[in-house]
Amino acid sequence: MKPYLPLFFATLFSSASYAATPANSLVVAIPLDGIISFDPAESFETVSTSSLVNLYQGLVSADRNHPQQIVPAAAASWSAA
């Protein structure tokens, strides 16, 4: 019992401390145990694939008003051959 006594008193008298989130930050909580990689080429499981949508911007995306049309997102221009 004596070896655990200092640990008991340390946890008894310790106080919880919380970090403040800056006003211009978004905190996303996801479990990290299922993530294999944040590399888009290696991402095949559900957890990291759902996170990649929030981390990377695509070159093109669907128009919000006309989803059948493609509009540039990160790309400035493109051409089809």
Give pLDDT tens digits for 17-46. Answer: 677 888 888 887 777 777 778 788 887 777
Who wins on pLDDT, 4 or 75? 75
| pLDDT at residue 69, as a whole number | 92
Who wins on pLDDT, 29 or 70? 70
Quote the percentage of the chain above a pLDDT of 70.
88
Q: Which helix (H) or strand (E) holds 6?
A: helix 5-12
Q: How many CB atoms lie within 10 A of CB 75?
A: 13
The residues spanned by each domain of the chain are 25-75
| pLDDT at residue 8, as a whole number | 72
Q: The whole model's pTM is what?
A: 0.44
Tell me the helix, strand and coil percentages in the chain, rounded to 5. Answer: 25, 5, 65
Distance, in Å, from the CA atom of 81 to the CA atom of 78, rounded to the nearest integer, reads: 10
